Amino acid sequence: MTDKTTIAEVYQAINHMPERLAEKGKVEPRVTVLIGANEQLSILIAWRKPYSPNSWETESSVFSGETFDEALHKAVKFVIALPSAEQAKLHQFMAELGKVIDGGRDAGIDVDFMNPLLDTMKRLSENVITFQPSES
């Protein structure tokens, strides 16, 4: 695109992105172009926080550039690099399990109760390290 990128071209460039984010497991993804006075152009990518009961809890990333193309390139690169939906679910589960383990340690829970959780976390971690996604 050029310095004279039209609104229709901007829509054409970003309209497919929410679908790509949904394929990566993002819930209610939104892609917004931000143009502010005396600021770089930015693309905001946001989605509902996984497993949150509140629709207002979101996660987001912002990609800025001197031109729309520069910001778009950064945003597209981010989306492509996101883990698959399956990997994202596994990472989220591991984070939640880690919180449970930390909470158990902080509470002084007996080792006999903690060991199965620690073993599960170890196996999950090994699976994540050795995971090789199939080419699609």
d(CA 42, CA 38): 12
Identify which of 95, 98, 90 has the alpha carbon closest to the alpha carbon of residue 118. Answer: 98
What pLDDT, on a 0 to 100 scale, did the predictor assign at position 52? 78
- Let me know: does 47 contact 59? Beta carbons within 8 Å: yes
Q: Report how far residue 10's alpha carbon sits from residue 68's, in angstroms, rounded to the nearest whole number.
A: 8
Contact 65, 71 (CB under 8 A): yes
- Do residues 24 and 91 lie in contact, with contact meaning Cβ atoms separated by under 8 Å? no
DSSP assignment letter at 136: -
Residue-wise pLDDT for 81-93, tens only, equals 999 988 888 888 8
- Per-residue model confidence (pLDDT) at position 130: 56
Q: Kindly list the domain boundaries of the chain, sorted by start residue.
A: 7-81, 85-130
Please say whether the beta carbons of 43 and 31 come within 8 A. Answer: yes
pTM of the model: 0.72
pLDDT string in tens for the chain (136-residue length): 656 789 999 999 999 999 999 999 999 999 999 999 999 999 999 999 877 788 889 999 999 999 999 999 999 999 999 999 888 888 888 888 888 888 888 888 887 777 788 788 787 777 665 554 444 4
